[in-house]
Amino acid sequence: MAVIEQVITDRYAMYNGDSCEVLPTLPAASVGLSVYSPPFADLYQYSSSERDLSNCYDYEQFLAHYRFIVAEVARLTEPGRISCVHCCDIPVPGQRKGYRDFPGDIVRLHQQAGFWYEGRVCVWKEPFRVAMRTRLQHLTHKNICKDSAVSFPAGADYVLLFKRHGENQKLIAHPTGLSAYAGEEKVPADLLRHRGEKRQEKNRLSQWIWRQYASAFWHDVRIDRVLPYKKARESDEERHVCPLQLDVIERCLTLWSNPGDVVLTPFMGVGSEIYCAVAMGRKALGIELKPSYFRQALKNVEAAAAGGTQGSLLFSEPSDTVPA
């Protein structure tokens, strides 16, 4: 499969093609950070293409296919740098028989490919909202009254963190600490006067932000703060598209990349990761198989490059508008 379309500028490179074919053409140790959501095996169907990981014959075939992607991401990642993988537990197909440990399988694939597993962040999701969206019976209140042996919590999202083997040669430094917070919680007003403080023992603002980010539980990610995606949907062949929240991406970019770093997403979707990368002064590299997603991603990234951005906002309120 040749690349259907590509757009390359000095700030981003976007490819409409198969990651399995595009990734091997890229230079080794050229990526400072990768952030992405892999297709969720057996859970969602993203396109009708036989090249799509969501259309594998079974879970084992999916893992074999995804193993190739992970190995290429490892080859491309600079030593000592980070890969962030967004995922969740996956229900076993068919009748209700529990969940697959999808995050655990992702961890094992990365360890085999040359990454150290550095932990995970849990992204909170409101249980009632999950129950309304998924219609999962084990989330209904009536089962607490009837038989709570079939009642279980709403599943969380996770960001798995991996470090490429080797020593980082490009320090990710924050000499004035952290000054921008991506999340719903209000920054205490009395801390704002510390913005830009170089004496970090006195920088209470940066210390407050770091405590939120350093937590393994990100409780205030704005679930609806995502890029436009509805125009990219093709209802005759897909059941799901839901971009990764911009708060999550911004936190990853802030913590684990420098301005000017190349940020990779091998499953670009509508371009959330590269949108944030461009808005925050990084160089973006995205690959997307589905043409309708690619076209929407291009619109979104062009808006970020032009300055119409939802990325990297200082202590921002949730906005009702994002680029069309």
CATH number of the domain encompassing residue 51? 3.40.50.150
Q: Is residue 183 part of a domain?
A: no
Per the structure, how many domains does the chain have? 1
Q: How far apart are CA 135 and CA 245, in angstroms?
A: 22
Residue 310 within any structural domain of the chain: no
The pair of three-digit structure tokens given for residue 203, joined into one six-digit string: 């920088």
299 falls within a domain: yes
| In-domain check, residue 97 | yes
Q: What does the alpha-carbon distance between residue 123 and residue 156 come to, in Å, rounded to a whole number?
A: 6
pLDDT for position 285: 98
Q: Which residues contact 189 (CB under 8 A, 6 or more apart)?
A: none
Domain assignment present for residue 103? The answer is: yes
The residue among 277, 267, 270 whose CA lies nearest residue 296 is 270
pLDDT of residue 270: 93
199 assigned to some structural domain: no
Which domain range does residue 65 map to?
5-118+160-175+225-305
Position 259 in a domain: yes
Cα–Cα distance, 155 to 141 (Å, whole number): 16
What token pair was written down for 117? Answer: 């597993």
Res 150: pLDDT? 78
Q: Is residue 291 part of a domain?
A: yes
Give whole-number Cα distances, 232 to 145, 245, 265, in Å: 42, 17, 18
Per-residue pLDDT of the chain (324 residues; tens, 9 = 90+): 578 899 999 999 999 999 999 999 999 999 999 999 998 765 555 555 666 666 667 888 889 999 999 999 999 999 999 999 999 988 887 656 788 899 999 999 999 999 999 999 999 987 777 776 666 777 778 888 888 887 888 778 999 999 999 999 999 999 999 999 999 999 999 999 998 888 989 999 999 999 999 999 999 999 889 987 655 455 544 444 568 999 999 999 999 999 999 999 999 999 999 999 999 999 999 999 999 999 999 999 999 988 854 433 333 333 333 332
Q: Is the separation of the CB atoms in 13 and 7 below 8 Å?
A: yes
What is the C-alpha to C-alpha distance for residues 249 and 159, in angstroms, rounded to an integer?
10
CA angle 288, 290, 292 (to 5 degrees): 110
